[in-house]
Structure 1
Amino acid sequence: MELLKAWPKSSLNLLVFAIMLSGAPGIIWIEPPDPVITPGGNLLVNCSTDCDQPQLIGLETQLDKTQKDNGTRWRVFLLRNITQDTRLLCFVNCPGKQQMLYSTNVTVIQPPEHVDLEPLPRWILVGQNFILRCQVWGGKPRQNLTMALLRGHQELSRQPVSEQAPEKTAEVTFTATASREDHGANFSCRAELDLGAQGLELYQKSSAPMELHTFVLGTPRLIVPKLLEVGKVETISCETDKLFPVENAQIHLSLEGRSLSPTVRWGQDTLRATAPVKGQREGQWELTCNVILGDQNREVRGNLTVYKASRDPVPIVMWVLLALGLVVLAGAFASLYLRRTLRRGSYQPQMLPLQDRVPTELPETRPTGPSPEATA
């Protein structure tokens, strides 16, 4: 099986050379320090010391080990099938000194197993801040683990996950501001375990992408005539000029809960609906305009007053003219009567004296029948 090393040999030689030049007695070290390996891998461990004549150099571990090579001041051990994190302890017995000990930790890597992006709101208002939460299972060692936020293939942000315990699910949050450019874009999280410095590869795991929808939705305006006569037809309209994306919007008009069939026109960030309304009967009727965009809606209400004229205009004019004629005629009769009355009141007859009065002689009347002398 492949033998894995995590400490470059050139760096190790420099470290050993520096320690030997220091002349400090009783020093022990392990090659490689704090190794990182893949699950089930093998590892060569070198325990070394600066003791001139060490009596014993050994390695304490629970793993299956075999001594592969040795020198006066060093021993090399092969550790096989390492499946979990473990601790190694090198010891050296140097004459005239206490036993020297040196330990290190072997970390078995765990590539990211699963990455999840918490569900996003279905629609987010343009200009509003929102939080994206990314979770990762696995990924060890955590000090080599980072989380990146992506929009499509573009990396927007990156954060380390090193401060979180490797046995727990790690969570990283990103704050973003919704823009029009984000509408319809796919967002995802990508966990990266970079072990290039340990001679290993880069392990990546991404979440399923989620599509984001952004919107702008202003309050619509309802344009309604104040009065509508029974039997007449007027046009009502509803419009909004702050709308994005306009092609995904719907607009509805209703009168007292009864849907109308408007004519709808789209423009750049504008939407307008018009519909004819006929006055059926007197009263005050409620008009409603509702603009819907995704799971968002804006509603506005207004009132339409329908009235009935008390009389037809032509008969009213005729009655008015007739009344005026009667008034004029009555005035003429009154004026004539007044004139006659005034004339009579101004004439006073004169009385004659009695002596001036001459009786009128009546003609003598004679009988018309035969005389008595004749009858006789």
Structure 2
Amino acid sequence: MVGSGEFQVINCTASCTDPKELVLETALHKTLLEGQAQWKLFKVINISKNMELMCSFTYGGRQETKVFNITVFCRPQLFPVNLQTPPEMSLFGGWGTLAAFLALLCCRGSGVKAFMEPEHLMVESGESQFINCTASCTDPEKLVLETELNSILLESQAQWKLFQVDNISKDVELLCSFTCGDRQETKVFIVTVFYPPKQVLLTLWPTSVAAGTLFTIECRVPAVAPLEGLTVTLLRGTEILYNHTFEGTAPSPHDAMVTYNTIARKEDGHHNFLCEAEMDLRSRGGGLVHRVSDPQRLEVKEPEPNTQMVGLVTTVTLLLLMVVTLVLLYRYQWWTAFNTWYWWYNR
């Protein structure tokens, strides 16, 4: 959320180390504060309405987009902007202005603390995060970022300060506090550390099979967290064989393993087998991280003859030949004996 007419700092970070065309798409005026190969930090100013800012980049022929939903809120004013404006035309009306004035008198010197709605951020383990501390008044006092981590002040003006917090290795809460008059306000940044899929290891076992026999596809994604939102997909060429989305969270990185058994086909030897790992952190304030394994090939051979079946067929054939031979021999002997008897009988 951002106050009407104020600015917002947008961190565009790609999910690969060498993105192309890393840009922030917006019709508003923007300034590039800092940038490296994998990320760029923009400052978008004079935001006056709700909008979507799109950070897009391209790698490996695939385009990805991260959307930042910006919600604008109006900071309340206790008195009319123009003193000539009648009380009934002011923001709160006559009675509202009087009530607000009395509330200020009652609360003066009370040192009330107000906690703004926390903002959830995702950062890769060991990386940095930019924190924009913006006060709700124009002349705040003691605008500080409270953290035990190493922080650097990058830029500041009267109403805001931009910090860079380095080497975040565990989940942490960062507190941005300031004082407006006698009222102390605090905004909490809940930073969650994630471990993206940096390797995707695909194994075919065995690597050489006969057509029609079973083989195993195994994909391992080492040291990832959180597991929730991680989807592992097994492909044969462009055909999806199997996919699995993990559930549950883990405080420390774990290996994600997917195993799938299938029957080898003759045409499998002409396709690459791949494994894709995709970590979706958009619901937690992060982005989409995508990794693909090296392609693997399966050697498919012609089906080998079944030696047991061949032996059985040979044995049965021999037995049949023996039976036929015995039958023919028996009939021959019977016919010879009959002809001999008949000759002697008619002589």
TM-score norm. by structure 2 comes to 0.50
Q: Which has the higher contact order (CA 8 A, sep 6+)?
A: 2
Q: Deviations over 1:211-239 (max 9, x none)?
A: 386xxxxxxxxxxxxxxxxxxxxxxxxxx
- 2:277 and 2:268 map into 1 onto residues whose CA distance is 22
Whether the 8 Å CA contact 1:120–1:210 is kept in 2: the answer is: no
Secondary structure at the residue paired with 1:320?
helix
How far residue 45 of structure 1 moved from its aligned partner, in angstroms, is 1.6
- Of the three residues 126, 138, 147, the one matched with 2:232 is 147
Report how far residue 147 of structure 1 moved: 2.3
**Is it true that 1:211 corresponds to 2:240 in the alignment?**
no
**Rg: which structure is higher?**
1
Residue 123 (structure 2) aligns with:
36
1:322 aligns with 2:318: no
* Change over 3 Å in CA distance of 1:84–1:201 after alignment to 2: same
Q: What is the alpha-carbon root mean square deviation over aligned residues?
A: 5.3
| Aligned sequence identity (%) | 21
Match of 2:72 among 13, 18, 22: 18
Q: d(CA) in 1 for partners of 2:46 and 2:233? A: 33
Q: In structure 1, what is the Cα distance between the partners aligned to 2:122 and 2:46? A: 13
Question: Contact 1:61 / 1:88 at 8 angstroms: preserved in 2?
Answer: yes
User: Which amino acid in structure 2 is aligned with residue 250 of structure 1?
Assistant: P
Deviation at 1:83, TM superposition (A): 4.6
For residue 151 of structure 1, report the CA deviation from its aligned partner: 0.8
Q: Distance in 1 between matches of 2:46 and 2:247?
A: 26
Is 1:135 the counterpart of 2:190? The answer is no
**TM-score under structure 1 normalisation?**
0.47
Match of 1:70 in 2: 156
**Contact between 1:63 and 1:82, CA under 8 Å: does it hold in 2?**
yes
Q: 1:120–1:212: 8 Å Cα contact kept in structure 2?
A: no
Unaligned stretches of 5+ residues in structure 2: 1-33, 51-69, 79-112
Whether the aligned pair in 2 keeps the contact of 1:159 and 1:172 (CA below 8 Å) is yes
Distance 1:212 1:78, change over 3 A: same
Q: Contact (CA 8 Å) 1:59, 1:89: kept in 2 or not?
A: yes
CA contact (8 A) 2:75 2:136 kept: no
> 1:113/1:7 Cα in 2 relative to 1: closer, same or farther (>3 Å)?
same
C-alpha separation between the residues in 2 aligned to 1:317 and 1:136?
A: 88
Deviation at 1:323?
Answer: 2.6
Q: Contact conserved, 1:86 with 1:106, CA < 8 A, in 2?
A: yes
Which residue does the alignment assign to 1:287?
Answer: 316
Whole-Å separation in 2 of the counterparts to 1:34 and 1:6: 17
Q: Deviations over 1:305-346 (max 9, x none)?
A: 252538374464123220344xxxxxxxxxxxxxxxxxxxxx
Any stretches of 5+ residues in structure 1 without a counterpart?
214-244, 261-285, 290-300, 326-376
Equivalent residue pairs, number: 252
